[in-house]
Structure 1
């Protein structure tokens, strides 16, 4: 198979995030950015009291916490099948590897991995309550190619130390793209191929095929990829509404983000395809309501919505595929600022002008007290409300399953 080397040219997407393009930066008295914030009225910072209320509710039984186990088999897990060759496909191909992790194969030959976390626990300490209840569908070593790894933020269910090291071990030429402030963490972990970006900034990535080497790891010139052409892609770091932190002392000191990736040409042989990865995000802040009350009811239409998703849709026109979070949303009065529920997810889908979408951020760990299989059920209801087909537009799939777009 062809081996590629990468070159990167940085660019500015030129978004319309706000009148002040750096309004998400929090600066000290010397003008230096020390942390980041969500700059719009749709957001609210989750504080210690919010978290304490959830913990107390769990202990008192106010919130019935699900306890699924691996052996329960709540979701189907299938062995993924990847394209061994980079050439020959005219469709975008996306494989769900659990939670927010997707592996995307572009017709151009580009291979992108989003938020790989293959650990059993999404926490700095092992806890039965945070253990996976669906296994990864494969080992990271099973991925045939990885050119770019995109990380949405530093929370443990999106950034895994052992997983990124495993990616680097099997794909030493892979380049990691992260939000501002995270480059230091990667370099301290021994990963040098890393670029950090601010919202509305991006890179033009070019992958040039290298001459095949005759050794045990690289096939000879008769490989199906031996006459490979250069691969080009545009990767853009974009806003979302969330937070970051891996401990008590680094809260919001690194930037959270969504990502856009486009790659390909204008010919039928290598069509251009685009993906928007939502990572982890909220959409509106919902205050405490009566049990069963619909926060999308007529009386709540004036709740501020995050404007950044419409800005993304307006800037990019449309995306062939959106990877959009639907889980970890209960209780709403606590988590709505940072986690979309299925009704939020459908609005985000519409705002960003995605042609199709797949659901992420569910079905792997119990992070909040809604039932594990509730998100896909509510997604169907949310699609019905908007007059969108329940299947074939914004879907869920088995862990390890691939879909083409």
Structure 2
């Protein structure tokens, strides 16, 4: 007999008692003017006029990559239609930073969904997709929670959010501080905003209706499933206009359900690197003393290990501009190690041209970075095709790795 489970109610409540750093209560990332900041030596503010000159110069000199449509593989995703069919942790990359994660028992979380053609405030200009969307929102069968890392256009799109709310009116949105008002402005009330190191419990009541023709076995049953949604720090910025820089918070996230946990790094840097000569290794001895963001080790020590990490590997060139806020693959492997993820999938590449590195460089450099740390180049921290799913069984997840520091 097949049973189709539908949500009949959602309860969201604060969860307390999970470990937090000793300095979390100081809220050093809160500024007196109501905005937010990265409170670490690993961050420095970006020279925005120089960044603009760099971007314009790249356009006229032809430095921006010109990807071919078939350079990054895109396949049609396959989702489990029934919650009861999901026995293991399953993650599907839907391009850039968007994942659908299916947890054992049936809970499903959608991260940073952007299904539009341009990641821009305009439909006629701005970065355009060079890979197609692997599916439409309407083809996704179940979404319980939508988790947003920050308000930049390649991570938060109004048309995608509205479509999700239309298809899944009970899906609950989880966002960093000061983002809830944006959701309310477009008519979405089922939204919870969280600060770093805050946790929320979501409980969903399900009604299962049997499809058996025998009335004796085809009745309705009710059950519940739940998940813990945890907001963590990362090193980035946020804003959607010329005047709202850092008026909303940016975050990474943890989600635990069905005995499995995932870490979603969102959009983040790891170190602030100065301009280096072409071909120079910014992890060389000359740069050993550059501070790195301590938040990731705190996350790993206090909340790890995670069964799966979704970690950015792209949009890093030129490093003197991008490194404070975008990890390169060597940074990404360090984030993977610090957060104690057992496995990982690379994201934040393969969808839009945002920086100068060649389209296929991030996966290649990721293999170099894994080798640098004496880690397996395949099967541990992988890249997948857009639309591809990976299932993480107990055997596949395995134990934490011994790594070279």
Q: Aligned in 2, Cα 1:255/1:213: closer, same or farther, shift over 3 Å?
A: farther
Q: Aligned in 2, Cα 1:66/1:6: closer, same or farther, shift over 3 Å?
A: same
Distance in 2 (CA, whole Å) between partners of 1:277 and 1:126 is 28
What SS does the aligned partner of 2:390 have?
A: strand
Residue 373 of structure 1 deviates from its aligned partner by 0.7
Structure 2 equivalent of residue 177 of structure 1: 174
Q: Aligned in 2, Cα 1:65/1:220: closer, same or farther, shift over 3 Å?
A: farther
Q: Aligned in 2, Cα 1:65/1:6: closer, same or farther, shift over 3 Å?
A: same
Structure 1 equivalent of residue 21 of structure 2: 16
CA contact (8 A) 1:322 1:358 kept: yes
Structure 1 equivalent of residue 321 of structure 2: 334
Distance in 2 (CA, whole Å) between partners of 1:398 and 1:222 is 45
CA contact (8 A) 1:17 1:311 kept: no
Residue 54 of structure 1 deviates from its aligned partner by 1.7
After TM superposition, the structure 1 = structure 2 runs for residues 187-202 of structure 1, keeping only pairs within 5 Å, are: 187-202=184-199
Residue 90 of structure 1 deviates from its aligned partner by 2.5
Distance in 2 (CA, whole Å) between partners of 1:180 and 1:324 is 22
CA contact (8 A) 2:46 2:321 kept: yes
After TM superposition, the structure 1 = structure 2 runs for residues 3-402 of structure 1, keeping only pairs within 5 Å, are: 3-4=6-7, 5-12=9-16, 13-16=18-21, 18=23, 21-28=26-33, 34-61=34-61, 64-69=63-68, 72-126=69-123, 130-210=127-207, 227=221, 229-264=223-258, 272-402=259-389
CA contact (8 A) 1:87 1:225 kept: no
Distance in 2 (CA, whole Å) between partners of 1:225 and 1:95 is 33
Q: Aligned in 2, Cα 1:129/1:229: closer, same or farther, shift over 3 Å?
A: same
Residue 199 of structure 1 deviates from its aligned partner by 0.3
Structure 2 equivalent of residue 268 of structure 1: none
CA deviations 1:109-140 (Å, max 9, x no partner) are 10000000000000112456611000110010
The yes-or-no answer on 1:2 pairing with 2:5 is: yes
Distance in 1 (CA, whole Å) between partners of 2:94 and 2:216 is 32
Distance in 2 (CA, whole Å) between partners of 1:245 and 1:153 is 8
Q: Aligned in 2, Cα 1:189/1:224: closer, same or farther, shift over 3 Å?
A: farther
Residue 292 of structure 1 deviates from its aligned partner by 0.9
CA contact (8 A) 1:76 1:399 kept: yes
What SS does the aligned partner of 1:93 have?
A: strand
Name stretches of at least 5 consecutive residues in structure 1 with no aligned partner: 29-33, 265-271
Distance in 1 (CA, whole Å) between partners of 2:82 and 2:254 is 24
Distance in 2 (CA, whole Å) between partners of 1:389 and 1:123 is 37
- TM-score, scaled relative to structure 1: 0.91
CA contact (8 A) 1:86 1:225 kept: no
CA contact (8 A) 2:145 2:173 kept: yes
CA contact (8 A) 2:19 2:303 kept: no
Q: Supply the RMSD in Å over aligned alpha carbons.
A: 2.2
